[in-house]
Structures are given as C-alpha cells and as structure tokens.
A = this chain, B = another copy of it.
Amino acid sequence: MQTPGEFVREQVTTVRETVDRVAGSVAESVADAPSVASVSSQVGDFIREQRSAARVSLRELARAAGVSNPYLSQVERGLRKPSAEILASIARGLKISAESLYEQAGILDRRSGNPDTVAAIRSDEALSERHKAVLLELYETYVREHRAAAQTSSQPAAETRISKESA
C-alpha cells in the first residue's frame, strides 16, 4: 500500500502546499492530549494515533521501524512495553521525535512551558537572515494549521478521520 518513500513524499507535498499557501486543508490531526493525567502507559495509543494520522499500516510501520508486526500490534495495544531501542526505532519509523515518545511513555520528563520558538530562531547565530525568515514563516503556517486541526477535531469533524476522544 504505502511505502515509506510515499509517506515522505506526502510530507513533502504538505510542505509545498504550506509554503505556497494553497491551504488545502491538509489537516493531519495529531492528538496530543496535553495535560491529561495517566498518560504514562498510553504510549501504545499515542503510537497508534500517530500511525493512523500518517495513514500507514501496522505492517508498514513495523517494517520501517525494523520490528515484527505482531510485536508492534501488542505494543500499540499496551500488552508489551517496548525497550528503549525499540521505542527509538518506532519513533524513527514514524518520523517523530524520540523525546515525545519517551515523554508519552513517562520515561522522560515533559519539558515544561513554551520556550519561545520564534525568539529562539531569531537569535540563532547559526542561521542566515533569509533562512530565519523562511523558517519563521513556515513555523507560523504550521502553527495556524495545527490550531485549525485542533478546532476541527473538537467539532463534529466531517473531514477528520482519526478520533482522539477514544480514551
């Protein structure tokens, strides 16, 4: 069905649309239940949400992450708690940061607050001014998109196919 390459392709398309301001409601709903308690053992749910959002099958992700599909299935349903390496592999396969997975697993402490991303980019000496501008513009577009997606998913949501309220 969908190869990892196709997945990346999709992301690229998303970026292009974003940059061009086509604003075609790309809307990946990423449910990240911020201040919900009892997050600790919900890694499996989080993984499944991310995987569904990327529209990747269990077997695809398993192959991309280098784990067996039955095991990934069990991890997603919370029957197994994967080791650090496996967790990192899955994060890699999902193309999300390993930190966020670890935070979901309750292994790393959630970094608090909003260290101002904009300020960080602006004051970054390792970037040229042009690149700063591009990054900031892209960042703001993403933020808008994310906010829009969050609102859509809280509404009855005709377009969104991933339901976050399955807790």
Contacts and interface: CB of A to CB of B under 8 A. Distances in A.
Given A26-B95, A30-B92, A117-B124, A54 B130 contact: yes
A128 B108 contact: no
B130 A28 contact: yes
Interface in A79-132: 81, 83-85, 87-89, 92-100, 102, 105, 107-109, 111, 113-117, 119-132
A14 interface: yes
Contacts of A34: 66, 125
Most buried by B among A31, A94, A97: A97
Given A36-B85, A97-B122, 17 more contacts: A4-B30, A8-B134, A11-B23, A30-B129, A35-B66, A54-B130, A84-B107, A96-B133, A98-B108, A102-B108, A114-B124, A115-B119, A115-B124, A127-B139, A127-B143, A127-B146, A135-B139
Interface of A: 3-5, 7-9, 11-12, 14-16, 19-21, 23, 26-37, 39, 50, 53-54, 63-66, 81, 83-85, 87-89, 92-100, 102, 105, 107-109, 111, 113-117, 119-139, 142-143, 145-147, 149
